[in-house]
């Protein structure tokens, strides 16, 4: 799986001009299931993100996790993270993304695991045309790719 995590002061996602998910301080997580991913992959990624310490402590050092700050997660599915931008031509390919039904199940597992870590989780709508807005905090943006993980 791939995820792009942005530390935000606030974020929201709308579908057909209606807000379907919204948070204050926390993480906006754009997430994509890839071919071959499993529920265990989704759980590992969610736990890794939940434990990520990128909030400032009293000394101004990025040393606090989301749970330690009382923040929330806005999780938005985004199959375009599977893009092969280095392919020949100018149109990226997305064939490495998991098929839609598998991707949705893995997205749900990812969100449920975050919630199981004690985090408030708002969501987009899988497969919908979404409008995402955010107020970046920092900015701080972290890229996760489970294909690159070490056990």
Is 80 assigned a catalytic role? Answer: yes
Judge whether 110 and 42 are in contact, CB under 8 Å: yes
Annotated active-site residue in 79, 109, 110, 146: 79
Judge whether 3 and 45 are in contact, CB under 8 Å: yes
Q: Which residue, 45, 49, 66, 48, is CA-closest to 109? A: 45
Annotated active-site residue in 78, 109, 113, 146: 78
Is 79 assigned a catalytic role? Answer: yes
Q: Token pair for residue 11?
A: 């974020």
Is 78 assigned a catalytic role? Answer: yes
Judge whether 62 and 54 are in contact, CB under 8 Å: yes
Give catalytic residue positions.
78-80
């Amino acid at each position: 799986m791939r995820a792009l995590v942005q530390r935000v002061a606030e974020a929201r996602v709308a579908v057909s001009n209606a807000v379907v998910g919204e948070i204050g301080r926390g993480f906006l997580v754009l997430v994509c299931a890839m071919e071959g991913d499993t529920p265990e992959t989704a759980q590992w990624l969610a736990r890794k993100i939940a434990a990520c310490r990128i909030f400032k402590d009293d000394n101004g050092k990025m040393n606090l996790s989301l749970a330690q700050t009382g923040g929330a997660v806005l999780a938005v599915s985004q199959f375009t993270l599977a893009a092969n931008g280095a392919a020949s031509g100018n149109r990226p390919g997305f064939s490495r993304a998991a098929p839609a039904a598998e991707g949705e199940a893995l997205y749900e597992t990812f969100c449920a695991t975050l919630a199981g870590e004690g985090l408030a989780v708002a969501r987009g709508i899988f497969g919908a045309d979404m409008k995402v807005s955010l107020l970046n905090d920092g900015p701080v943006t972290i890229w996760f790719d489970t294909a690159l993980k070490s056990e």
